[in-house]
Structure 1
Amino acid sequence: MKKTIAAWTIAAAAVLGLAACSSSEPSEGTGAGAESSSSAAPSSSAAPETDTGSGDQTVADACTEVQAKIQEASTAVAGIDMSTASSDPQGTVDAFTETVDGVGAAVESVNNPEVKTALSAVHEDFVALRDLLAKVLVEQDMSAAAGITTAATDVQTSAQELATLCN
């Protein structure tokens, strides 16, 4: 029972984290609204945003690309049947790993340094969450369940930071 609760908690944290990422809409077409919302950032106008140091991808373009990949990962997490966590713990971890790999693929596909850094933090937090899930479900290390709150908070925090960057 404790394993199932831990698995559900981890899945919920993953879904919430991905929802925070995928709900962001880049503000590239909002003109003055985009400028006022990012006035504290170094690139407060549209012109600097087009040259982010990489010369290849704007923040808005990177966020648009990432959003589609994060939505795919979010759908995959939502499709994980956590009720089978007790009977097929490795299958549950493998399904979650597919989501982690999807976020990792999104990191690799982006060349904007700001978005890549923020998305890398999300990916690292998901890796930690997946590792925690494996410890609880596969290795049956219930002491690892104590880290669920921290891992869930880390995922939500990094996902929110990405969403803030992309808004």
Structure 2
Amino acid sequence: MNRRIAAWTIAAVAVLGLTACSGAPAAEDDKSTDSGDSAPVEETNTDQSVEEACGIVLPKLQEASSAAGEIDTTGATDPQTTVDQFNTVVDAFGEAADSVSNVEVQEATAAVHEDFVALSDVLSKVLIDQDLSAAENMGTITTDMTESATALQELCS
């Protein structure tokens, strides 16, 4: 029973943290570049604007947020599956950070990723190792997640 409560709590915090990242992106497609291409652009140059980088990162974070909603928090699956599902979401955050060259957006997205890595570590300790004392830092992790997600959202709005 304690494992199920811990899993549900951690997953709920994670989903709440992700909602801060899933706000409406800035007008990403309203401005077209000189080339006029309508294909998705994942630029690698260092001249990428904040708006362009956010146009790449935010949809990826929204997709990860949707995937987080499908994590089994009922306890119907084994704990390792729950951790694996959550780690897939966390990995998507890392990939989103790596997909842009704008330093500001990349750093803000990396900060969100790092906070979710910390949450993943706690989730693993609680569910796999059954170490409920690992959840002691949840307040700090939750605060960090909220701050980093808010900073990214403010940068991209």
TM-score (norm 1): 0.79
Q: In the superposition, relative to structure 1, how do residues 102 and 29 fare at CA in structure 2: closer, same or farther (>3 Å)?
A: closer
Aligned partner of 1:100 in structure 2 is 90
Asked if 1 retains the 8 angstrom alpha-carbon contact of 2:20 and 2:146, the reply is yes
Map 1:73-92 → 2, pairs under 5 A: 73-84=64-75, 88-92=78-82
Q: Counterpart of 1:157? A: 147
Contact kept in structure 2, 1:122 and 1:155, CA below 8 Å:
yes
CA distance, structure 1, for counterparts of residue 141 and residue 4 of structure 2: 17
The 5 Å alignment of 1:13-92 reads 13-26=13-26, 54-55=46-47, 57-84=48-75, 88-92=78-82
Question: Which 5+ residue runs of structure 2 have no aligned equivalent?
Answer: 31-44
Larger helix percent: 1
Equivalent residues, number: 143
Identical positions, percent: 53
Give the Cα–Cα distance (whole angstroms) in 2 for the partners of residues 149 and 9 of structure 1: 12
Q: Which amino acid aligns with 1:11?
A: A
Measured against aligned partners, the alpha-carbon deviations of 1:8-48 in whole angstroms (never above 9, x if no partner) come to 22111211221111114215689xxxxxxxxxxxxxxxxxx
Distance 1:8 1:115, change over 3 A: same
**Which of 95, 110, 113 is matched with 1:120 structurally?**
110
Shift, 1:152, TM fit: 1.7
Give every structure 1 segment of 4 or more consecutive aligned residues whose post-TM-superposition deviation is greater than 6 Å: none
* Aligned partner letter, 1:78: G
Cα deviation per residue 1:33-64 (whole Å; 9 max; x = unaligned)? xxxxxxxxxxxxxxxxxxxx921x11011111
Distance (whole Å) between structure 1 residues aligned to residue 66 and residue 120 of structure 2: 16
**Deviation of the 1:84 alpha carbon:** 2.0
Tell me which amino acid in the other structure corresponds to 1:148: M
TM-score if structure 2 supplies the norm length?
A: 0.84
RMSD between aligned residues: 1.9
